[in-house]
Structure 1
Amino acid sequence: MSTHVNDANFDAEVLRSSEPVLVDFWAEWCGPCKAMDPILEDLSRELAGRVKIVKLDVDGNPSTVVKYNVRAMPTLMVFKDGEPADIKVGAGQSRVQLIKWLDQFAA
């Protein structure tokens, strides 16, 4: 299961991670976010040790949302070496597309 992060532990869990981190900025009321959940859960197991996948609820964590200028859900942002490396907005990516995208950053 994906790890849930928040404003308080974002620095430790994401920015200081030794492996690349995919942050799923999501919201409980977001249908497309929920549609992405099974795919991201599978990927978190499949890519374990290569890419860390975490979820951040945008409604409860305004500081991180504002800092990274997240305006639409779902937003998938890859962090590598403590910095944002790439971003995808929306739920239009298939499992295969996400794997291909994340392989670019995999440890």
Structure 2
Amino acid sequence: MAEGYGVIAAVVVLGLGGLVGAFALNKALTVTHATPEKLTTYESGVDPVGEGWAQAHIRYYLFAYLYVIFAVDAVYLFPWATVFALAGFGAASLVEMFVFLAFVAVGLLYAWRKGVLSWT
């Protein structure tokens, strides 16, 4: 019985040793020289100019929100499509998915009626 725990303990010790060794090797091989250029703020390859405050139009947040809604929709649709053909999942899962898609369609219709989906 104890030999099973010995194998687990050996794997844990080897794993932790490898982790500590990797961090130590990284620290030993890293060359760091703090220069003024390295200490400046860096954002997407653009030098910082002016204030750090910029306002974004609310439209971009709405597009991000719509993307999240449809990404979640896709996350639910693909697993549903894989189990739909299995025995016992046919009619009930079809009705549940149409209810789910109806909620998503109502949300899309609401966004369309509010003019969120137009760029102008």
TM-score (norm 2): 0.18
Which one has a larger percent strand, Structure 1 or Structure 2? 1
Which one has a larger percent helix, Structure 1 or Structure 2? 2
Structure whose alpha-carbon radius of gyration is higher: 2
Which structure has the higher relative contact order (CA within 8 Å, separation 6+)? 1
TM-score (norm 1): 0.20
